[in-house]
Amino acid sequence: MGENHLTYFKIENFKRFDSFEMENLGQYNLLVGDNNVGKTSVLEGLLFRSEGDTCLANLFQTLLYRKLFFVDKKKVLANLNDENLWKFILKNIDKTLQVNNGYGDEQEIINWEIVEHQTLTESDWNAINKKGYRNDGVSIFKKGVRISSEYAEKDKKYYPFSYNFYPFSRTTNEEIEMNWGYMPFIPTNLGYDFDLLDFYYKKINADKDLRKEFDSNLKTFIPKLEETRTQKMLNDIDFICVSLEDDNGLYPITRFGDGVVKLVRVLLEILMAKGKRLMIDEIETGIHFSRLKEFWKTVITLCKKYDVQLFATTHSLECQKYFVYALAELGEDFQNDARNISLVEDTNGDVKSVTFDFNQFEFAMEIGYNTRGGI
C-alpha cells in the first residue's frame, strides 16, 4: 500500500456523526451496513484534504449530484452565509468539524469552524489576500468558515500547515466562482454524462497502450468489442462509442446498458484518481451478479496498478461474496490490502466500525456470519 493511502480515518461533527473512526484501512475497502447508518456520509467525509478549497468544492459537488442541495453552481459561495447550508454538512453548526487523516505514523488534522468575520485578524485577511482574492471591501459577510490543517510528526508534535478562509472576501457585491475540478467520488445515481467524454479525451484517446488496456477491460462486458473511439452522434455531439467484430456500425456505449456505463465510468475514474483515493457509492449498482466477480477483479487490479485507494459501499451480500471470490483468485498480494468494514449503530445511536481483514472476512462469509450490521 502506498504512503499516500490512509491507514486511519476519523471525523467529528459531520452529518449524522458526533464522532466516527475507522482503523486498519487497506487499499481496497468495502463498507457495509444497514440503511441510514451513514455509509455514504463516510465516503463524503473522505473527500476532506488539507487543500480547503478543493475539498469544499468536492463536498458541494456531491450534494449537487445527489440532489440534496439545489443551487446554481456558479453561486454556491454566495450561500456560505446561509446557516441552512451548513445544516447539510455539520451536525451542530456551533461546533467544529474535525477530520483526522492518518498515513501510517503521520496524521493530517483538518478543522472547519464557522466564525464571525469580525473576529478575523489582519493576518487572517492577509492570508486571504495571498490567495489572490479581494480583501479591501467595507461590508463583510456575517459568517465565514475557518479551515486549518496541521501535521503530526512521529513525535506527535503539531505545527500549523495552512489556513484558508471562506468565502474569501469582505464584500457581498462580488460574485466569486468556485474552482470545480475533478471529484474522486461516484454517486449511486450517476450514469453517462459528458464528464466521461472529458476523462476519455484526457486519459485514453491519445494513449495507444491505455486505449488497448481500456478496450481489453471493457470486453468483459462486451465480448465482441473491437475498439472504442469517439464519434459525433445525436445533435452532432461527441459520444464514447464502440465498434464490434463482424459489424460495420459504431454504437454509443449507452446502447449496452447500465452495467457497461458503470464499468466505463469506474475504469476512467480510476485513471483520473491515480495515486489518490476514489470513493464509489453502491458499487454494485447496474452490475448483474453473474458479472460481479470479473468486475471486482478488474477494479481491484487497476487500483493496484494505478496506486488508487478504493472506498466503496454496498447493500448487497452478493457483492460482498464476489469481492471475496475475486480476491481469492487474485492471490495473497491483493488479499493483504483488502478490508471489509462494517458500520454498526449501537443502542445510543452512535455508529461504530468493525474492520475485517481478508482472512477474517472470508471465514465470516463461510460460516454465514452477518458482516453487514443491522438485523
Give 48-105 pLDDT, tens digit per residue.
875 555 666 777 777 777 776 666 666 665 556 566 777 778 888 888 888 888 888 7
CA distance 330 to 314: 21
Q: What is the DSSP string of 188-212?
A: TT--S-HHHHHHHHHHTTT-HHHHH
Range 239-264 average pLDDT: 92
Pairing of strands 143-152, 106-116: antiparallel
Residue 2 CB coordination number (10 Å) = 12
8 Å CB contact between 310 and 280: yes
CA distances from 205 to 66, 128, 182, 294, 308 (A): 29, 39, 18, 25, 21
- Strand, coil or helix: 40: helix
pLDDT of residue 118: 58
Decide: helix, strand or coil at residue 330: helix
13-43 pLDDT per residue, tens: 998 999 999 999 999 999 998 888 899 999 9
Predicted local confidence at residue 151, as pLDDT: 43
Phi-psi region of 365 (alpha: psi -120 to 50; beta: other; left: phi over 0): alpha
Between CA 261 and CA 240 the distance in angstroms is 10
Average pLDDT, the chain: 79
- CA–CA separation, 154 vs 4, rounded Å? 16
pLDDT band at 109 (very low <50, low <70, confident <90, very high): confident
**What is the rounded average pLDDT of the residues 270-290?**
93
How high is the pLDDT of residue 17?
93
Chain centre to alpha carbon of residue 335: 22
Per-residue pLDDT, 201: 92
For the residues 354-363, what does the mean pLDDT come to? 88
* CB atoms inside a 10 Å sphere around CB 325: 16
CB atoms within 10 A of CB 162: 13
Continuous H helices in the chain: 39-45, 52-65, 83-86, 122-130, 194-203, 208-218, 258-272, 292-305, 317-330, 332-335, 358-367
- Tell me what pLDDT residue 127 has: 53
Instruction: Indicate the domain borders of the chain.
Output: 48-166, 190-258
